[in-house]
Amino acid sequence: MTLNPESFLALATLLFGIGAVGVMSRRNIFVVYMSIELMLNAVNIVLATFSRLHPDMGGSVIALLIIGVIAAEAALFLAMIVQLYRKKRTVDSDAFTDLAQRRLS
Amino acid sequence: MTLQTTQLLGWILLLPFTGALVLGLLHLTFPRTRRLDTFYAALGVAGPVVAAALGLKVLYAVASGADVTFRQTLFTWLSVGDLKIGLTLSADALGAVMLFIVTFVGSVIHIYAVGYMRGEKSFGKFFAYFNFFLGSMLLLVLADNPIVMFIGWELVGLASYLLIGWYYEDPANVKAANKAFILNRIGDFGFISGLGLLFALVGEGGFSFADIAAHIGSVDPAMTALVGLLLFVGAMGKSAQIPLYVWLPDAMAGPTPVSALIHAATMVTAGVYMVARFSFLYESVPDVGLFIASIGAASALLAALFACYQSDIKKILAYSTMSQLGYMFIAVGLGGYSAGIFHLFTHAFFKALLFMGAGAVIIALHHEQNIFKMGGLKEKMGLVTATMLVATLAISGIPPFAGFFSKDAILAHAFASGHTFIWAVGVATAYLTAYYMFRLFFVVFVAPPREKAEPAPLDRTVTWPLVVLAVGSAVAGFFGLPEAYGGQNWFAGFLHLPDRALHLGSGEEFLLDMLNLLVASAGIYVAYRLFARSPREAHDAAAWQTMLRHTLYVDEIYEALFVRPLRGLSRLLDRVVDNRIIDGIIGLTVGGYRVASAGFALLQNGSVRWYALYFMAGLCGLSLYILQNIGGE
């Protein structure tokens, strides 16, 4: 079995799709968070793949940077979820609609 | 250094305007102080007086040369292609005579105003307006092209508005000022339409009066007639002729010097001057001239009838002005331009004198204007009585006072031109003129006093101008002494306007004069019988007398015919067209936006999941678009 670039891209697309559907359909904020991570990692895969296809390591470097950023983001995100939970005692994202358009003026 | 006569014109114009500017600025800087009043008076009078001296010099220069025209271009105002319209001043014989009348009589009225307005508040503002009025009239008179004339024409209207509404605390006065302004606007609309048409017809060859005169011959006579009519509509407004005269009696709301200035030196004479200035145009369309003369005759007779039934001293004089202006229009309409201007010249003296005399009586009696509450003033106010008598004799056409010669010139011209009916109306008006003027004179000065009122002493600046004008009213007529009396009609010869020649023997003219004199004497006799001993404010015997007292209800008719429908139309436009239709259309778009925004607002439901969906949908749409239109090979 040869590893051709198309299979990497297909994997990335699949991961991104799973992530996008997760973000849109799941209500648990933790799951939403993990779906976002999936989408980010799909992007990382695309970056690494194209970096290998072209003789340029810039893409891989950026992918590594993104992994670092994700780590920092994870810390923030988890802290925010804890805060949200403290406010409403739930992790259901549909409970947080305070910025909605309530009524026509 | 001597100034060229040509350069004088600019100075004459500049003096009153500078005076107005300086006085206005000073008044605005120190609006409350009274200490500057003497300075205001000196400054306000200085401009017109110096202008009058310069005007006299110009008149002398014009008179000593043969057929000269002084012309001065101050600057080019409009320059479009070949067309150049400059702020050009010119003084030919007609202009110089008008210049003299306006500056001289204007100066005398300014001096009179110093005494009359003493103690009034806003003294400086009054003289600023007064100088502005005089300057505007000078611009009108000295204009070398109709455009500049129109500027002066409009400024005169503005100045009259400011001065008629001088006592602005009383809403009635403000209404009178508005009335004057609006009726003048109607006339001005005709005037500027006429000018526009004239420009379209002959504007290519330059637009000064001389250029127009040179090119007018090649124009279709029907169009010339139309131009003449439209211009005359302007004259109707400014010179208070039927049907636009109704502002003139109401204009009495202003202080008396303002009335004197409007009626004698400025404003109302503008229409007559304009027709004389365009004499080359009116000469080619005699039918329009006949129309003008008919309007003039009708105005003369109607105003004289109104004057017979008024009891307000200033309103009598106002209607008498309208009547005398009617005479002038009879003359210029029938081609007797010199006669018309001659009457304007003499009228300026005696009408200014009449107003100033009336003003002296009014202030002496503490602002009483009803003549039937006066009486017996001849013992107490000798000088005013004497000067008023001169003016009254002059306007009634008694020789050798000025009005006799000028009125005679007009009536003789009307008779000789064959329009006997107009002539007869003129003679009838002469009878009425003598009657109503002596009615005023007898009631105010001769008849026994009705109420014991001690006249207040008059200022010298009020009385001396009366004397100056009385001398003028007495001798001004001799400038135009007709040939029948051994004169050469120097005035007409000097003006050299294109008068229609008339053939009237000395004997005939003499007979006509005798008739005029007889008619005037009859009027005086009737007035004497009715009013000299025991004047009664006649109570209406017949219906027609009531009608005349109420000036035929013309104001009410205008109110019903024009003002009310216009107001109704305005209300309709306001309430229905503007409020419903136009605002409705705007309201519809507003409503549409509101509904659409409400729809969009529903998308903002606060749920992050939905936002992610929109985001994705947008991204997909954008990607599809890019693939389809840009990336697709």
ipTM of this complex prediction, to 2 decimal places: 0.83
Mapping DSSP onto H, E and C, the string for B108-143 reads HHHHHHHHHCCCCCCHHHHHHHHHHHHHHHHHHHHE
**Rounded Cα distance, B285 and B300, in Å:** 23
CB B482 within 8 A of CB B373: no
Evaluate if residue B560 carries a pLDDT over 90.
no
Q: Which of A13-22, B358-367, B622-631 is modeled with the greatest confidence?
A: A13-22
Evaluate if residue B95 carries a pLDDT over 60.
yes
| Local confidence band at A105 (pLDDT 50, 70, 90 cut-offs) | very low
Q: How would DSSP label each residue in B89-114?
A: EEE-HHHHHHHHHHHHHHHHHHHHHH
Arithmetic mean of pLDDT, B226-254 = 88
In chain B, which residues have their Cβ closer than 8 Å to the Cβ of A98?
A: 606
Other C-beta atoms closer than 10 Å to the C-beta of B447 total: 22
pTM equals 0.78
**Rounded Cα distance, B306 and B550, in Å:** 8
**Rounded Cα distance, B402 and B105, in Å:** 15
| Local confidence band at B631 (pLDDT 50, 70, 90 cut-offs) | low
- The closest of B312, B342, B317 to B327, measured between CA atoms, is B342
- Token pair belonging to B105: 């009589």
- A101 → closest Cβ in B602, B613, B616: B602
* Contact check, Cβ <8 Å, A93/B609: yes
| Local confidence band at B367 (pLDDT 50, 70, 90 cut-offs) | confident
Pick among A80, A94, A98, A103 to test the B interface (most B CBs inside 10 A): A94
pLDDT of B538: 63
Q: State the distance between the two ends of chain B, measured CA to CA, in whole angstroms.
A: 91
Residues 28-47 of A with CB under 8 A from B: 32
Pick among B609, B611, B620 to test the A interface (most A CBs inside 10 A): B609
Residues of B engaging A, defined by a Cβ cutoff of 8 Å: 598, 601-602, 604-609, 612-613, 616
pLDDT of B28-66, one tens digit each? Answer: 888 877 777 888 888 888 889 999 998 888 888 888 776
Cα B508 to Cα A68, B505, B603: the distances in Å are: 125, 5, 102
Beta-ladder partners of B86:
B76
Beta-ladder partners of B451:
none
- The closest of B229, B211, B361 to B288, measured between CA atoms, is B229
The set of residues, in sequence order, having a beta carbon less than 8 Å from that of B81 and lying 6+ positions away, is: none
Cis peptide preceding B400, ω within 30 of 0: yes
Residue of B nearest to A24 (CA): B609
* Contact check, Cβ <8 Å, B606/A93: no
Arithmetic mean of pLDDT, A45-60 = 89
* Contact check, Cβ <8 Å, A96/B598: no
- B616 → closest Cβ in A24, A32, A99: A24
* Contact check, Cβ <8 Å, B612/A98: no
Average predicted confidence (pLDDT) for chain B: 85
Other C-beta atoms closer than 10 Å to the C-beta of B452 total: 6
State whether residue A97 sits within 8 Å of chain B by CB.
Answer: yes
Evaluate if residue B498 carries a pLDDT over 80.
no
SS3 B241: coil
pLDDT of A82: 92
Amino acid at site B207: F
- Percent of chain B at pLDDT above 90? 19
| Local confidence band at B245 (pLDDT 50, 70, 90 cut-offs) | confident
Of A87-96, B193-202, B444-453, the range with the lowest mean pLDDT is: B444-453
Amino acid at site B142: L
Arithmetic mean of pLDDT, B95-102 = 89
pLDDT of B119-147, one tens digit each? Answer: 777 888 889 999 999 999 999 999 888 88
Report the phi/psi class of residue B419: left, alpha or beta, with left for phi > 0 and alpha for psi in -120 to 50.
beta
* Contact check, Cβ <8 Å, B598/A25: no
Report the phi/psi class of residue B375: left, alpha or beta, with left for phi > 0 and alpha for psi in -120 to 50.
left
Beta-ladder partners of B604:
none
pLDDT of B1: 37
* Contact check, Cβ <8 Å, A101/B613: no
pLDDT of B512: 83
Q: What is the DSSP letter of B265?
A: I
pLDDT of B131: 92
Q: State the distance between the two ends of chain A, measured CA to CA, in whole angstroms.
A: 63
pLDDT of B2: 52
CB B449 within 8 A of CB B375: yes
Of B2-11, B232-241, B482-491, the range with the lowest mean pLDDT is: B482-491
| Local confidence band at B201 (pLDDT 50, 70, 90 cut-offs) | confident
Arithmetic mean of pLDDT, B493-503 = 74
Evaluate if residue B115 carries a pLDDT over 80.
yes
Q: What is the DSSP letter of B533?
A: S
Beta-ladder partners of A28:
A92
* Contact check, Cβ <8 Å, B608/A27: no
CB B411 within 8 A of CB B427: yes
Domains for chain A: give ranges and CATH numbers.
Answer: 5-89 (1.10.287.3510)
pLDDT of B393-439, one tens digit each? Answer: 999 888 888 888 888 888 888 888 888 899 999 999 999 999 999 98
**Rounded Cα distance, B138 and A69, in Å:** 87
| Local confidence band at B294 (pLDDT 50, 70, 90 cut-offs) | very high
Beta-ladder partners of B83:
B80
- A100 → closest Cβ in B605, B609, B616: B605
* Nearest-CA distance B613 → chain A (Å): 6
Beta-ladder partners of B72:
B89
**Rounded Cα distance, B605 and B607, in Å:** 6
- Which helix (H) or strand (E) segment holds residue B185: the answer is helix B171-202
Evaluate if residue B485 carries a pLDDT over 90.
no
Amino acid at site B232: F
Q: How would DSSP label each residue in B6-72?
A: HHHHHHHHHHHHHHHHHHHHHHHHSSS-STTHHHHHHHHHHHHHHHHHHHHHHHHHHHHSSS--EEE
Evaluate if residue A28 carries a pLDDT over 70.
yes
Q: What is the CA radius of gyration of chain B?
A: 30
Give domain limits for chain B.
177-240+280-549, 557-632
Evaluate if residue B500 carries a pLDDT over 60.
yes
In chain B, which residues have their Cβ closer than 8 Å to the Cβ of A26?
A: 609
Higher per-residue pLDDT: B364 or A103:
B364
pLDDT of B376: 76
pLDDT of B488: 66
**Rounded Cα distance, B326 and B240, in Å:** 9
Pick among A21, A92, A97 to test the B interface (most B CBs inside 10 A): A97
Higher per-residue pLDDT: A98 or B172:
B172
**Rounded Cα distance, B74 and B144, in Å:** 11
Evaluate if residue A2 carries a pLDDT over 90.
no
Cα B237 to Cα B140, B151, B184: the distances in Å are: 15, 16, 5
Size of interface A-B (CB pairs under 8 A): 37
Residue of B nearest to A92 (CA): B607
**Rounded Cα distance, B615 and B621, in Å:** 10
| Local confidence band at B323 (pLDDT 50, 70, 90 cut-offs) | very high
In chain A, which residues have their Cβ closer than 8 Å to the Cβ of B611?
A: none
